[in-house]
Amino acid sequence: MIVGIGVDIVDLSRFAVSLERTPHLKERLFTEWERDGAPATLAATFAAKEAIAKALGAPSGLEWHDAQVRHESSGRPYLLATGTVAAAAAALGVVRWHLSLSHDAGAAIAMVIAEGEG
């Protein structure tokens, strides 16, 4: 059963300017594991975090670092939810996440499906 769906798109050039203009933005938005990515990868990761919040119904109090985008050795992305994100997901009965990321033509996009049992 689908509990929620979230989609977000990020303009790559505007995101790169934000990263340059605000030196601590990387530390605020991304975990240590995520920060080393190229700007397009960071934009897709940011889009994923926004899409996760949307899939959960945009509850208040979610922490950026509590949603981490990781990649399998094949390159397939997956979500590691902890803390506030894991608690919000559990309250809705989320047991699985589905994550798709892409970037091309000046934009990065993420789609998230939160799946529950039954």
Is residue 85 within 8 Å of 52, Cβ to Cβ? yes
CA-based R_g, the chain, Å = 14
Report how far residue 1's alpha carbon sits from residue 21's, in angstroms, rounded to the nearest whole number: 42
Task: Return the residue matching tokens 């990781």.
Answer: 70
Report how far residue 11's alpha carbon sits from residue 14's, in angstroms, rounded to the nearest whole number: 6
- Percent of the chain at pLDDT > 90 equals 94
The full set of domains in the chain, from first to last, is 2-116 (3.90.470.20)
Residue 5 tokens, joined: 């769906």
Average pLDDT, the chain: 96
- Total-model pTM: 0.94
Is residue 85 within 8 Å of 107, Cβ to Cβ? no
pLDDT at 37: 86
